Amino acid sequence: MIAVIGSSNVDMVINVDDFTLPGQTQKGLELSYYPGGKGANQAVTSRLLGGEVYFLTCLGNDGNAQMMKRELEAIDLGNGIRYVDSPNGVALIEVSSSGENRIIVYPGANSHLSPEIIADSRESLLKADILLLQNEIPFESTLYAAKLFSEAGKTVIFDPAPSSNIDKSILRYVSIITPNETEMAELAGYNLGIEEATAKLHKMGCEDVLLKRGNKGVFFSGRSKSLVVPAFKVRAIDSTAAGDVFNGAFACSLDRGLDLHASLRYACAAAALSVTRRGAQKSIPRNEEIGSLLGE
């Protein structure tokens, strides 16, 4: 079983030819609304790929919250919803014609996901063997959850996104950290090579480092071995949720008992397929599609 503690947002996506420059006004090509949030994206990915998932999240008191409620309950992810008196979380996403994105997040209800709410859900959460965390809820809550699961002997996978305001003391409770290249630089320091940066995170206490490198694949550094898994070649349309799809698929694969290399390839295939379609949760592939890309 997989536990996910994290954010639920409604994504407001504007497609443009090129990113808007400071002081520039340009015409958007398309406006879309999608269910999103890093926590929800990862939970929904694991669930749609066949995992048993408990998702702890906070929703607000507006129409966006009702949209998220419908989406989560439709796939049996409603048991961990907590409601608070606040607008729901929202992400404003600009997507260029090359598929790259820029994102501004308003946390809203996500800022109410406290350590106390996690403690109240402890019994349900600790039925899981794997915990997925991100950084879109209060950091004190993320730290509390990581410590809770680590001390219970569980696997803690931490996606340090966004990478601001992270107290590196959390790394001692993290089994696998999954930064992208920008987040790695912010955590370990700029102008470092991959091996030097990962070694620095190991010294900070993190057991395993999984660097997500976009169309260059992934680099895994463990205490005793390292692995490189190349990306699958696809035509990218929207990379908004690629990292979240990767983490959700990776956790689901590990939970099924697949080995590390197979789990990394499975997650790379899922992420590759996700960038070929628009939206966050709408871009999540299914097992049959992943198997086809893997040649299974």
3-state secondary structure of 182: helix
**Exposure of 55 in the CB half-sphere (CA atoms within 13 A):** 32
Q: What percent of the chain has pLDDT above 90?
A: 76
Residue 146 token pair: 């990581």
What is the rounded average pLDDT of the residues 205-210? Answer: 92
52 is in an annotated binding site: no
- Residue 238 in marked binding region: yes
By the 8 A CB rule, do 10 and 279 touch? no
Parallel, antiparallel, or unpaired for β 218-221 and 226-229?
Answer: antiparallel
Q: Rounded to an integer, what distance in angstroms lies between the CA atom of residue 266 and that of residue 264? A: 5
CA distance 243 to 275: 10
- pLDDT tens profile 88-111: 999 898 989 887 888 888 999 999
Mean pLDDT value across residues 280-292: 89
Spatial neighbors of 193 by CB under 8 A, at least 6 apart, are: none
Residue 41 annotated as binding site: yes
What pLDDT score does 189 carry?
84
Residue 186 reports pLDDT greater than 70:
yes
Query: What would the DSSP string read from start to end of 70-98?
Result: HHHHTTT--TTEEE-SSPPEEEEEEE-TT
**What secondary structure, in 3-state letters, does 227-294 show?**
EEECCCCCCCCCCCCHHHHHHHHHHHHHHHCCCHHHHHHHHHHHHHHHCCCCCCHHHCCCHHHHHHHH
The three-point CA angle 202-208-211 to 5° equals 95
Is residue 190 predicted with pLDDT exceeding 90? no
Does 129 count as an annotated binding residue? Answer: no
Segment 61-74 shows an average pLDDT of: 96
Which residue, chain included where needed, has tokens 């929703």?
59
Instruction: Find the largest Cα–Cα distance for the chain.
Output: 52
- Whole-angstrom Cα distance, residue 94 to residue 100? 8
Average per-residue pLDDT in the chain?
93
Confidence of residue 296 (pLDDT cuts 50, 70, 90): low
Question: Which residue out of 18, 244, 255, 259 is catalytically annotated?
Answer: 244
Residue 3 in contact with residue 131, Cβ under 8 Å? yes
**Is 71 marked as a binding-site residue?**
no
- Whether 153 and 277 have beta carbons less than 8 Å apart is answered as no
Q: What is the CA radius of gyration of the chain?
A: 18
136 is in an annotated binding site: yes
244 catalytic residue (yes or no): yes
For the chain, what percent of residues have pLDDT higher than 70? 100
17 is in an annotated binding site: no
Q: Tell me yes or no: is domain 2-294 CATH 3.40.1190.20.
A: yes
Q: pLDDT tens-digit profile of 215-241?
A: 899 999 997 788 999 999 998 887 878
Do the annotations mark residue 243 as ligand-binding?
yes
Secondary structure percentages of the chain, helix, strand, coil, to 5? 40, 20, 40
